[in-house]
């Protein structure tokens, strides 16, 4: 049966994992993206400039910023219920403590490189202060900002993303199909020795007589080639080549950030349970959580808006799916995480960065030979 074009290709025409008839589990949403969650949007600023030897402060530049807006722009000051989980803490995600304390956060999420994470957080505050100054008077200004390390390809110490780049990512956020691969914060990232970066997928979950959407967005920058799995196949054993080529010694500083979002009604402790299932999807691709990896995950629900922002002096009421009915959502987290990672790798191309460091893309010809092509 033919699949929607948005399941097979990104808006810029890059193939996604389903282009190669990989037999994924579960039912994807309309665009097989986190933006299938109503009201949620994603934007990017991608920075690619220069070639040759590293000159700190000048380049080469292979980096960017990703922005995720959990609610429609006008509703961003309204909190969303949320939960977080760290599988391996060698990384950063701001806003952690308020989510742990309050079970909620507000304002946009940004993801960038390690040495620009603080700037991205602060630039988000600047953007909010211009667009929603009242939000910083009546609620906490503690946005979520996360990072992974892109210093093998990028002049990471040059801190090239600027506050204006963060604002461009926030201003460009849109729903519908979104690009993947070497875009936004994922521009300079590596996964299993192949070009990694930004990826997304979604699942439709039927529960208690209604259909809900759960989506996952990853910034994939982790993994060792020999561990790489595609749907249980030890693909890394067949893919020793093409290999990374080093002009300068590669440091192992891999990480993965994941944001899970759903319009299903869950309470904060349940969202933390969803976040805890992200590592299982990562494991399906061969991720093990090595020592240097920062594997940090956020899950949020756009439901229960009135309860999340209930004013003082009233009793708030929230609906939630019982824990006895949560298992299909665990399936959806694992399935969408796995596919989002593979989408980040498939929707990609070879990249050469600082000092001639070269990272190959996952070979499309190997995927076609192994799985064939999907009808679309």
Question: Could you list the active site residues?
Answer: 255, 293, 295
Which of helix, strand or coil describes residue 122?
helix
Burial of 313: CB neighbours in 10 Å, binned 0-12, 13-18, 19+: exposed
Which residues 6+ apart lie within 8 Å of 12 measured at CB? 179
Please report the sign of the dihedral spanned by the C-alpha atoms of residue 116, residue 142, residue 91, residue 174.
negative
Which token pair is 329?
Answer: 């959502």
Q: Which residues pair with 88 in a beta bridge?
A: 295
Which token pair is 12?
Answer: 């810029």
Which of helix, strand or coil describes residue 34?
helix
Which token pair is 3?
Answer: 């699949």
Which of helix, strand or coil describes residue 62?
strand
| Residue 59: how many other CB atoms lie within 10 Å | 22
Q: Which of 9, 19, 13 is nearest to 367 (CA)?
A: 19
Which residues 6+ apart lie within 8 Å of 194 measured at CB? 225, 228, 345, 348, 359, 360, 361, 362
| Residue 332: how many other CB atoms lie within 10 Å | 30
């Amino acid at each position: 049966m033919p699949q929607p074009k948005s399941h097979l290709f990104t808006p810029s025409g890059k193939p996604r994992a389903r282009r190669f008839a990989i037999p994924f589990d579960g039912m994807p949403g309309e665009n097989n993206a986190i933006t299938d969650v109503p009201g949620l949007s994603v934007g990017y600023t991608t920075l690619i400039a220069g070639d040759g030897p590293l000159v700190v402060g000048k380049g080469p530049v292979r980096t960017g910023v990703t922005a995720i807006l959990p609610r429609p722009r006008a509703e961003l000051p309204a909190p969303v219920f949320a939960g977080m989980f760290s599988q391996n803490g060698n990384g950063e995600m701001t806003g952690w403590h308020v989510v742990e304390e309050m079970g909620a956060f507000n304002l946009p999420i940004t993801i960038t490189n390690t040495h620009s994470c603080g700037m991205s957080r602060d630039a988000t505050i600047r953007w909010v202060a211009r667009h929603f100054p009242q939000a910083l008077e009546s609620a906490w200004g503690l946005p979520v900002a996360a990072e992974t390390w892109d210093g093998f390809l990028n002049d990471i110490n040059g801190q090239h993303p600027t506050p204006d780049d963060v604002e461009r990512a926030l201003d460009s956020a849109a729903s519908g199909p979104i690009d993947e691969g070497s875009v936004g914060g994922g521009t300079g990232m590596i996964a299993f020795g192949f070009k990694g970066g930004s990826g997304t997928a979604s699942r439709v979950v039927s529960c208690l007589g209604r259909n809900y959407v759960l989506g996952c967005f990853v910034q994939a920058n982790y993994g060792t080639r020999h561990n790489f799995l595609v749907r249980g196949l030890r693909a890394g054993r067949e893919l020793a080549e093409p290999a990374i080529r080093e002009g300068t010694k590669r440091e192992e500083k891999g990480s993965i950030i994941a944001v899970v979002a759903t319009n299903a009604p869950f309470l904060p402790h349940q969202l933390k349970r969803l976040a805890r299932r992200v590592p299982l999807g990562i494991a399906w691709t061969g991720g093990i959580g090595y020592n240097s990896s920062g594997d940090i995950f956020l899950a949020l629900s756009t439901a229960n808006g009135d309860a999340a922002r209930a004013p003082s002096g009233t009793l708030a009421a929230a609906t939630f799916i019982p824990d006895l009915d949560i298992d299909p959502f665990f399936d959806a987290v694992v399935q969408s995480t796995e596919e989002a990672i593979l989408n980040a790798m498939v929707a990609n191309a070879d990249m050469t960065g600082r000092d001639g460091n070269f990272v190959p893309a996952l070979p499309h010809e190997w995927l076609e030979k192994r799985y064939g092509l999907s009808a679309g």
